[in-house]
Protein backbone atom coordinates (compact mmCIF):
# COMPACT_ATOMS: atom_id res chain seq x y z
CA UNK A 1 0.00 0.00 0.00
CA UNK A 2 1.32 3.45 -0.81
CA UNK A 3 1.74 6.11 1.87
CA UNK A 4 -1.18 8.53 2.06
CA UNK A 5 -0.07 11.90 0.65
CA UNK A 6 0.25 14.71 3.20
CA UNK A 7 -2.41 17.38 2.88
CA UNK A 8 -1.60 20.94 1.84
CA UNK A 9 -2.86 23.63 4.21
CA UNK A 10 -3.78 27.13 3.10
CA UNK A 11 -1.50 29.61 4.85
CA UNK A 12 -2.81 33.17 4.70
CA UNK A 13 -0.25 35.99 4.53
CA UNK A 14 -1.45 39.58 4.79
CA UNK A 15 0.22 42.44 2.92
CA UNK A 16 -1.39 45.36 4.76
CA UNK A 17 -0.03 48.14 2.62
CA UNK A 18 -1.49 50.87 0.48
CA UNK A 19 1.89 52.48 -0.21
CA UNK A 20 1.41 51.66 -3.90
CA UNK A 21 -2.08 53.13 -4.24
CA UNK A 22 -3.87 56.46 -3.88
CA UNK A 23 -6.58 54.86 -1.72
CA UNK A 24 -5.52 54.48 1.94
CA UNK A 25 -8.40 52.13 2.75
CA UNK A 26 -6.95 48.96 1.32
CA UNK A 27 -4.18 48.85 3.94
CA UNK A 28 -6.97 47.74 6.30
CA UNK A 29 -8.01 44.90 4.00
CA UNK A 30 -6.13 41.99 5.60
CA UNK A 31 -7.18 42.89 9.16
CA UNK A 32 -10.81 43.23 8.11
CA UNK A 33 -10.81 39.88 6.27
CA UNK A 34 -9.11 38.27 9.27
CA UNK A 35 -11.69 39.77 11.62
CA UNK A 36 -14.63 38.71 9.42
CA UNK A 37 -13.20 35.17 9.30
CA UNK A 38 -14.02 34.82 5.62
CA UNK A 39 -11.21 32.27 5.22
CA UNK A 40 -11.77 29.41 7.62
CA UNK A 41 -11.25 25.71 8.10
CA UNK A 42 -13.70 23.39 6.49
CA UNK A 43 -13.88 19.63 7.09
CA UNK A 44 -11.89 19.22 3.87
CA UNK A 45 -9.35 22.03 4.14
CA UNK A 46 -7.20 23.51 6.87
CA UNK A 47 -6.74 27.30 6.72
CA UNK A 48 -4.40 29.21 9.03
CA UNK A 49 -3.33 32.85 9.19
CA UNK A 50 0.39 33.53 9.24
CA UNK A 51 1.79 37.04 9.56
CA UNK A 52 0.18 40.26 8.43
CA UNK A 53 3.07 42.28 7.00
CA UNK A 54 2.94 46.05 7.43
CA UNK A 55 4.78 49.11 6.23
CA UNK A 56 5.74 52.08 8.39
CA UNK A 57 3.93 55.36 7.83
CA UNK A 58 5.86 57.41 5.33
CA UNK A 59 5.56 60.22 2.81
CA UNK A 60 4.49 59.27 -0.74
CA UNK A 61 8.05 59.89 -2.05
CA UNK A 62 9.16 56.88 0.03
CA UNK A 63 6.61 54.52 -1.53
CA UNK A 64 9.17 52.82 -3.74
CA UNK A 65 11.34 51.93 -0.73
CA UNK A 66 8.34 50.77 1.28
CA UNK A 67 6.94 48.59 -1.49
CA UNK A 68 10.33 47.15 -2.29
CA UNK A 69 10.97 46.23 1.37
CA UNK A 70 7.51 44.71 1.78
CA UNK A 71 7.87 42.63 -1.37
CA UNK A 72 11.22 41.32 -0.25
CA UNK A 73 9.66 40.05 3.00
CA UNK A 74 6.60 38.75 1.24
CA UNK A 75 8.65 36.82 -1.32
CA UNK A 76 10.50 35.10 1.53
CA UNK A 77 7.25 34.19 3.28
CA UNK A 78 5.68 32.78 0.13
CA UNK A 79 8.82 30.84 -0.67
CA UNK A 80 8.85 29.42 2.87
CA UNK A 81 5.22 28.34 2.80
CA UNK A 82 5.72 26.59 -0.54
CA UNK A 83 8.91 24.89 0.68
CA UNK A 84 6.93 23.45 3.60
CA UNK A 85 4.57 21.94 1.08
CA UNK A 86 1.70 24.31 1.84
CA UNK A 87 -0.38 26.71 -0.21
CA UNK A 88 0.19 30.46 0.21
CA UNK A 89 -2.84 32.74 0.04
CA UNK A 90 -1.64 36.35 -0.05
CA UNK A 91 -4.19 38.97 0.93
CA UNK A 92 -3.65 42.65 0.04
CA UNK A 93 -3.30 45.48 0.37
CA UNK A 94 -2.73 47.15 -2.94
CA UNK A 95 -1.73 45.06 -5.93
CA UNK A 96 1.96 46.03 -5.84
CA UNK A 97 2.35 43.10 -3.40
CA UNK A 98 2.03 40.79 -6.42
CA UNK A 99 5.71 41.42 -7.13
CA UNK A 100 6.62 39.76 -3.83
CA UNK A 101 4.03 36.99 -4.03
CA UNK A 102 4.99 35.78 -7.48
CA UNK A 103 8.75 36.32 -7.07
CA UNK A 104 8.53 34.05 -4.02
CA UNK A 105 6.54 31.47 -5.96
CA UNK A 106 9.04 31.58 -8.84
CA UNK A 107 11.90 31.10 -6.42
CA UNK A 108 10.26 28.07 -4.81
CA UNK A 109 9.51 26.54 -8.18
CA UNK A 110 12.86 27.40 -9.79
CA UNK A 111 14.43 23.90 -9.76
CA UNK A 112 11.40 22.42 -11.44
CA UNK A 113 10.54 25.01 -14.06
CA UNK A 114 8.72 28.22 -14.86
CA UNK A 115 5.70 29.80 -13.19
CA UNK A 116 2.40 30.38 -14.97
CA UNK A 117 0.05 33.16 -13.83
CA UNK A 118 -3.60 34.05 -14.39
CA UNK A 119 -4.17 37.72 -13.53
CA UNK A 120 -7.82 38.66 -12.99
CA UNK A 121 -8.19 42.43 -12.94
CA UNK A 122 -10.09 45.42 -14.31
CA UNK A 123 -6.69 46.99 -15.03
CA UNK A 124 -3.50 45.94 -16.80
CA UNK A 125 -1.12 47.00 -14.00
CA UNK A 126 1.58 46.98 -16.66
CA UNK A 127 3.10 50.43 -16.42
CA UNK A 128 6.71 51.39 -15.85
CA UNK A 129 7.81 54.81 -14.59
CA UNK A 130 8.18 55.77 -18.25
CA UNK A 131 4.51 55.21 -19.08
CA UNK A 132 2.53 55.71 -15.85
CA UNK A 133 0.31 58.76 -15.59
CA UNK A 134 -0.60 58.36 -11.93
CA UNK A 135 2.85 57.33 -10.63
CA UNK A 136 1.12 54.68 -8.50
CA UNK A 137 3.04 51.45 -7.98
CA UNK A 138 -0.06 49.26 -7.95
CA UNK A 139 -0.32 50.08 -11.65
CA UNK A 140 3.09 48.42 -12.28
CA UNK A 141 3.40 44.87 -10.86
CA UNK A 142 2.81 43.04 -14.15
CA UNK A 143 5.55 45.01 -15.91
CA UNK A 144 7.90 44.31 -12.99
CA UNK A 145 7.22 40.57 -13.07
CA UNK A 146 7.92 40.61 -16.81
CA UNK A 147 11.31 42.14 -16.05
CA UNK A 148 10.50 45.72 -17.03
CA UNK A 149 10.61 48.89 -15.00
CA UNK A 150 12.50 50.07 -11.95
CA UNK A 151 15.18 47.79 -10.46
CA UNK A 152 13.83 48.40 -6.94
CA UNK A 153 10.65 46.62 -8.00
CA UNK A 154 12.50 43.61 -9.36
CA UNK A 155 15.63 42.64 -7.46
CA UNK A 156 14.64 40.03 -4.89
CA UNK A 157 17.44 37.86 -3.62
CA UNK A 158 19.08 35.48 -6.07
CA UNK A 159 18.58 36.40 -9.71
CA UNK A 160 15.31 35.01 -11.00
CA UNK A 161 14.21 34.51 -14.54
CA UNK A 162 11.46 36.94 -15.52
CA UNK A 163 7.94 35.72 -15.94
CA UNK A 164 7.61 34.74 -19.61
CA UNK A 165 4.92 36.64 -21.53
CA UNK A 166 3.47 33.40 -22.88
CA UNK A 167 2.99 32.04 -19.36
CA UNK A 168 0.79 34.96 -18.30
CA UNK A 169 -2.87 35.79 -19.11
CA UNK A 170 -4.96 38.77 -18.00
CA UNK A 171 -8.73 38.41 -17.64
CA UNK A 172 -11.43 41.05 -17.13
CA UNK A 173 -9.49 44.11 -18.33
CA UNK A 174 -11.54 47.22 -19.08
CA UNK A 175 -9.48 50.19 -17.88
CA UNK A 176 -5.96 50.94 -19.08
CA UNK A 177 -3.67 53.52 -20.60
CA UNK A 178 -1.92 53.35 -23.97
CA UNK A 179 1.64 52.83 -22.71
CA UNK A 180 0.90 49.70 -20.72
CA UNK A 181 -1.30 48.23 -23.46
CA UNK A 182 1.57 48.76 -25.92
CA UNK A 183 3.99 46.89 -23.65
CA UNK A 184 1.71 43.86 -23.30
CA UNK A 185 1.02 43.88 -27.01
CA UNK A 186 4.71 44.10 -27.84
CA UNK A 187 5.52 41.21 -25.50
CA UNK A 188 2.63 39.11 -26.78
CA UNK A 189 0.79 38.71 -23.46
CA UNK A 190 -2.72 37.32 -23.95
CA UNK A 191 -5.25 39.82 -22.58
CA UNK A 192 -8.88 38.73 -22.30
CA UNK A 193 -10.72 42.04 -22.09
CA UNK A 194 -14.09 42.33 -20.42
CA UNK A 195 -15.63 42.60 -23.89
CA UNK A 196 -14.17 39.24 -24.81
CA UNK A 197 -15.29 37.74 -21.48
CA UNK A 198 -18.82 38.97 -22.18
CA UNK A 199 -18.80 37.69 -25.75
CA UNK A 200 -17.41 34.22 -25.02
CA UNK A 201 -18.36 33.67 -21.39
CA UNK A 202 -15.94 33.54 -18.47
CA UNK A 203 -15.89 29.77 -18.46
CA UNK A 204 -14.51 29.49 -22.00
CA UNK A 205 -11.99 32.26 -21.48
CA UNK A 206 -10.82 30.88 -18.15
CA UNK A 207 -10.32 27.38 -19.54
CA UNK A 208 -8.28 28.76 -22.42
CA UNK A 209 -6.16 30.86 -20.06
CA UNK A 210 -5.63 27.84 -17.84
CA UNK A 211 -4.39 25.74 -20.74
CA UNK A 212 -1.93 28.51 -21.65
CA UNK A 213 -0.44 29.11 -18.20
CA UNK A 214 -0.07 25.38 -17.71
CA UNK A 215 1.47 24.47 -21.04
CA UNK A 216 5.17 25.19 -20.44
CA UNK A 217 5.33 25.64 -16.67
CA UNK A 218 5.95 23.59 -13.53
CA UNK A 219 3.06 25.20 -11.64
CA UNK A 220 0.77 28.20 -11.79
CA UNK A 221 -1.00 30.72 -9.60
CA UNK A 222 -3.95 33.09 -9.72
CA UNK A 223 -3.93 36.75 -8.75
CA UNK A 224 -7.41 38.14 -8.12
CA UNK A 225 -7.78 41.90 -7.96
CA UNK A 226 -11.25 42.34 -6.48
CA UNK A 227 -11.81 45.31 -8.79
CA UNK A 228 -12.25 42.77 -11.61
CA UNK A 229 -15.70 42.20 -10.10
CA UNK A 230 -18.66 44.41 -10.84
CA UNK A 231 -18.67 47.26 -8.30
CA UNK A 232 -22.46 47.23 -8.25
CA UNK A 233 -22.23 43.87 -6.53
CA UNK A 234 -18.83 44.28 -4.85
CA UNK A 235 -18.07 47.94 -4.07
CA UNK A 236 -15.29 47.30 -1.54
CA UNK A 237 -12.28 48.12 -3.72
CA UNK A 238 -9.93 51.09 -4.17
CA UNK A 239 -10.29 51.62 -7.94
CA UNK A 240 -13.79 50.51 -9.00
CA UNK A 241 -14.56 50.24 -12.73
CA UNK A 242 -18.14 49.60 -13.90
CA UNK A 243 -19.09 46.55 -15.88
CA UNK A 244 -17.11 43.74 -14.25
CA UNK A 245 -17.30 40.00 -13.65
CA UNK A 246 -20.08 38.53 -11.50
CA UNK A 247 -18.88 36.97 -8.25
CA UNK A 248 -20.78 33.72 -8.84
CA UNK A 249 -19.30 33.42 -12.32
CA UNK A 250 -15.76 33.85 -11.06
CA UNK A 251 -16.33 31.39 -8.21
CA UNK A 252 -17.57 28.84 -10.74
CA UNK A 253 -14.52 29.35 -12.94
CA UNK A 254 -12.11 29.10 -9.99
CA UNK A 255 -13.76 25.83 -8.96
CA UNK A 256 -11.98 24.33 -11.99
CA UNK A 257 -8.80 24.54 -9.88
CA UNK A 258 -10.11 22.41 -7.03
CA UNK A 259 -7.83 19.42 -6.49
CA UNK A 260 -5.32 20.57 -9.09
CA UNK A 261 -1.79 19.70 -7.90
CA UNK A 262 -0.18 22.27 -10.24
CA UNK A 263 -2.13 25.15 -8.69
CA UNK A 264 0.43 26.41 -6.18
CA UNK A 265 -0.61 29.82 -4.83
CA UNK A 266 -3.33 32.46 -4.86
CA UNK A 267 -3.56 36.15 -4.16
CA UNK A 268 -6.58 38.36 -3.44
CA UNK A 269 -5.95 42.10 -3.36
CA UNK A 270 -7.29 45.66 -3.19
CA UNK A 271 -9.99 44.97 -0.59
CA UNK A 272 -11.20 48.22 0.97
CA UNK A 273 -13.49 47.50 3.95
CA UNK A 274 -14.58 51.16 4.19
CA UNK A 275 -16.20 51.04 0.78
CA UNK A 276 -17.77 47.62 1.20
CA UNK A 277 -21.52 47.13 1.61
CA UNK A 278 -22.78 44.41 3.99
CA UNK A 279 -19.39 42.68 3.64
CA UNK A 280 -20.36 41.67 0.10
CA UNK A 281 -16.83 42.09 -1.22
CA UNK A 282 -15.28 40.34 1.78
CA UNK A 283 -17.66 37.44 1.29
CA UNK A 284 -16.69 37.28 -2.38
CA UNK A 285 -13.06 36.85 -1.31
CA UNK A 286 -14.15 34.03 0.99
CA UNK A 287 -16.19 32.41 -1.77
CA UNK A 288 -13.19 32.36 -4.13
CA UNK A 289 -11.05 30.51 -1.62
CA UNK A 290 -13.86 28.09 -0.87
CA UNK A 291 -14.26 27.52 -4.60
CA UNK A 292 -10.70 26.23 -5.01
CA UNK A 293 -10.85 23.85 -2.04
CA UNK A 294 -10.14 21.14 -1.25
CA UNK A 295 -6.70 21.56 -2.75
CA UNK A 296 -4.87 18.55 -4.07
CA UNK A 297 -2.50 16.83 -1.65
CA UNK A 298 1.11 17.87 -1.65
CA UNK A 299 2.43 17.69 -5.19
CA UNK A 300 5.28 15.26 -5.79
CA UNK A 301 8.67 17.06 -5.72
The catalytic residues are: 95, 121, 123, 125, 138, 225, 227, 270
The residue among 46 and 180 lying less far from Mn ion, judged by its C-beta, is 180
Instruction: Find the shortest distance in angstroms from Cβ 126 to ligand ARG.
Output: 9
Instruction: Find the shortest distance in angstroms from Cβ 89 to ligand ARG.
Output: 18
Task: Give every CB contact of residue 59 below 8 A, 6+ residues apart in sequence.
Answer: none
The residue among 116 and 172 lying less far from Mn ion, judged by its C-beta, is 172
Near ligand ARG by CB under 6 A: residue from 17, 68, 101, 239 = 239
Label the pairing between strands 115-120 and 219-225: parallel
Residues 92-111 that bind ligand ARG (CB under 6 A): 95
The residue among 225 and 276 lying less far from Mn ion, judged by its C-beta, is 225
Stretch that binds ligand ARG, among 136-144, 150-158, 159-167, 271-279 (CB under 6 A): 136-144
Near ligand ARG by CB under 6 A: residue from 46, 79, 107, 138 = 138
Near Mn ion by CB under 5 A: residue from 99, 117, 125, 163 = 125
CB-side exposure of 87: number of CA atoms within 13 Å? Answer: 32
Residues 191-250 that bind Mn ion (CB under 5 A): 225
95 contacts Mn ion (rule: CB under 5 A)? yes
Near ligand ARG by CB under 6 A: residue from 123, 148, 174, 212 = 123
Near Mn ion by CB under 5 A: residue from 94, 121, 234, 276 = 121
The residue among 123 and 154 lying less far from Mn ion, judged by its C-beta, is 123
The residue among 108 and 169 lying less far from ligand ARG, judged by its C-beta, is 169
Which positions lie near ligand ARG, rule CB under 6 A? 95, 123, 125, 127, 132, 134, 136, 138-139, 177, 225, 227, 238-239, 270
Interacting residues with Mn ion (CB under 5 A): 95, 121, 123, 125, 225
Amino acid sequence: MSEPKPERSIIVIGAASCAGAPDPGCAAGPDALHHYEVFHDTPLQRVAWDAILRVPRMPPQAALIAVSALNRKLAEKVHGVLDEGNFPLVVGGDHSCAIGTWSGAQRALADRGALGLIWIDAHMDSHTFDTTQSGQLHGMPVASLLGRGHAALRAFGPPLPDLRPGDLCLIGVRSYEAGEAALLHQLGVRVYTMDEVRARGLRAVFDEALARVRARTAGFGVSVDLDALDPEEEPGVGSPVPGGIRCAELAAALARLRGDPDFIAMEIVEYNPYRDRDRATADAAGAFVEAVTPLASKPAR
